[in-house]
Structure 1
């Protein structure tokens, strides 16, 4: 009898510790999810900033007199991509 009671008590202690660890991991998981959301927002903001800077670079390249044909082709492709994205957005707005 004593042996069974001590085993039950030991099992109960282990279960309590397991529950405590689980709760701690849940709390940490929640914090990590919040941090991930913040980092994803930062990445999105940085991507947007990078695109804006790239557009400014393209405008500056256009304004300078010596313009390579390869740069011109690349810029035309980028402008075409922007126009397609604008068309898609307009189509979604009209739908």
Structure 2
């Protein structure tokens, strides 16, 4: 009978360790999840900033006439894409 109680105590102790480890891992997971969200937000903000700077650079090159033929075609495509998107938004607002 005493051997059974000892086994039960060891199992209980191990179970408590597992539960404690689980709680620690859960806290770490929550913290890492928050960090992932923060880093994704920062990445999104930086990508937006990069796009803005690229547009400014292209606009400056366009104004100063420093674009080659390939860049001019790319600017035209981008402008046409913006126009289509604006037209789509106007159509949605008109509904």
Q: Deviations over 1:17-70 (max 9, x none)?
A: 000000001100110111111001101100110010000011111011343221
Counting matched residue pairs gives 95
1:78 shift after superposition = 1.6
Q: How does 1:16-95 map to 2 (within 5 A)?
A: 16-91=16-91
Q: What CA distance in whole angstroms lies between the structure 2 residues aligned with 1:27 and 1:68?
A: 55
TM normalised by structure 1 equals 0.87
Q: What CA distance in whole angstroms lies between the structure 1 residues aligned with 2:26 and 2:94?
A: 44
* RMSD of aligned residue pairs (Cα, Å): 1.8
Q: What CA distance in whole angstroms lies between the structure 1 residues aligned with 2:94 and 2:16?
A: 59
Gaps of 5+ in 2: none
